[in-house]
């Protein structure tokens, strides 16, 4: 129960790594605010959590690429909870395209999903953390974990906008960690490899793609969302109290083969 009496926000909580992380934090005692664009998906996850951990999860539908939506989320947290301890920036998306074929609109859309969202949430909700921390007599440590990607290390084929945005998330994490350290807010990122999530759904249906994963991954398989959630939970917990500005690669050994 590493997250007792903590308030946590998970973006992209309606599916995949965000969903698995929200469930993991709730099981360990956190009050979890599920954030995403599709309220129906969020409510489904919240119902699953609350069936075993009553009142552990609540829903806030928002597009975290839109400044006004994130401002509304920040105001909601301040008014209802008056505190915030953990932020998991898991919202994101991708698309297939060659550089010569990408429109400016598509480039901006993917950068907004993966980078602008992290910036807005870390800025506005991070300010809630800073203000809460400044009012405490007994200081609590707080944590932000940003979900980056293996593609931030090695650019994937036909996903130049996704790869660029995830590399930027890793470096933004370092800058944020340095700026927030005086407030006892740790900031780290995790870089998953190929994980069985809705983002990878079409690829996972392709036998050749799956054969390539098995051939080029040291552990010979794709990952599961719960395996990434395990690492995120550690990084957000006090067990990682001397860790900030780091990225943890969780790729099953893709880069070492």
Quick one: pLDDT at residue 200? Answer: 76
Please report the pLDDT score of residue 156 as a whole number.
Answer: 86
Please list the active-site residues: 162
pLDDT at residue number 133 = 81
Task: Supply the pLDDT for residue 138.
Answer: 58
The partner residues of 74 in beta bridges, in order of sequence, read: none
Domain covering 7-250, topology? Rossmann fold (3.40.50)
Which pLDDT belongs to residue 135? 80
**Nearest one of 6, 168, 91 to 160, comparing CA atoms:** 168
Distance CA 143, CA 188 (A): 8
Cβ 31 vs Cβ 81: under 8 Å: yes
pLDDT for the residue 106: 96
DSSP state of 156: P
- Could you tell me which residues come within 8 angstroms of residue 185 by beta carbon, excluding any fewer than 6 positions away? 126, 129, 130, 133, 141, 142, 143, 144
Mean pLDDT by 10 residues, the chain (257 residues): 96 98 98 98 98 97 98 97 96 91 96 98 97 74 96 92 98 98 96 90 83 94 97 98 98 96
Q: What is the pTM of this model?
A: 0.95
Residue 198 has a pLDDT of 84
Domain ranges of the chain: 7-250
Span between the terminal Cα atoms of the chain, in Å: 37
């Amino acid at each position: 129960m590493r997250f007792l009496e903590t308030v946590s926000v998970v973006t992209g909580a309606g599916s995949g790594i965000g969903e698995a992380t929200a469930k993991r934090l709730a099981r360990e005692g956190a009050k979890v605010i599920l954030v995403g664009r599709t309220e129906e998906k969020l409510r489904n996850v919240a119902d699953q959590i609350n069936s075993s951990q009553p009142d552990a999860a609540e829903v806030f539908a928002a597009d975290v690429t839109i400044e006004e939506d994130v401002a509304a989320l920040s105001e909601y947290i301040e008014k209802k909870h008056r505190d915030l301890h953990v932020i998991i920036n898991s919202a994101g998306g991708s698309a297939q395209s060659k550089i010569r074929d990408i429109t400016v609109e598509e480039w901006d859309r993917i950068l907004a999903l993966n980078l602008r969202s992290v910036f807005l949430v870390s800025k506005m909700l991070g300010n809630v953390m800073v203000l809460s921390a400044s009012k405490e007599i007994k200081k609590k440590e707080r944590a932000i974990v940003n979900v980056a990607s293996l593609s931030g290390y090695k650019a994937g084929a036909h996903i130049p906008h996704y790869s660029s945005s995830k590399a930027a998330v890793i470096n933004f994490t370092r800058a944020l960690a340095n700026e927030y350290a005086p407030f006892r807010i740790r900031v780290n990122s995790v870089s998953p490899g190929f994980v069985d999530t809705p983002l990878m759904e079409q690829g996972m249906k392709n036998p050749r793609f799956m054969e390539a994963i098995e051939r080029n991954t040291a552990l010979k398989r794709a990952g599961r969302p719960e395996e990434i959630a395990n690492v995120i939970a550690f990084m957000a917990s006090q067990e990682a109290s001397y860790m900030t500005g780091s990225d943890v690669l969780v790729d099953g050994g893709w880069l070492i083969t």
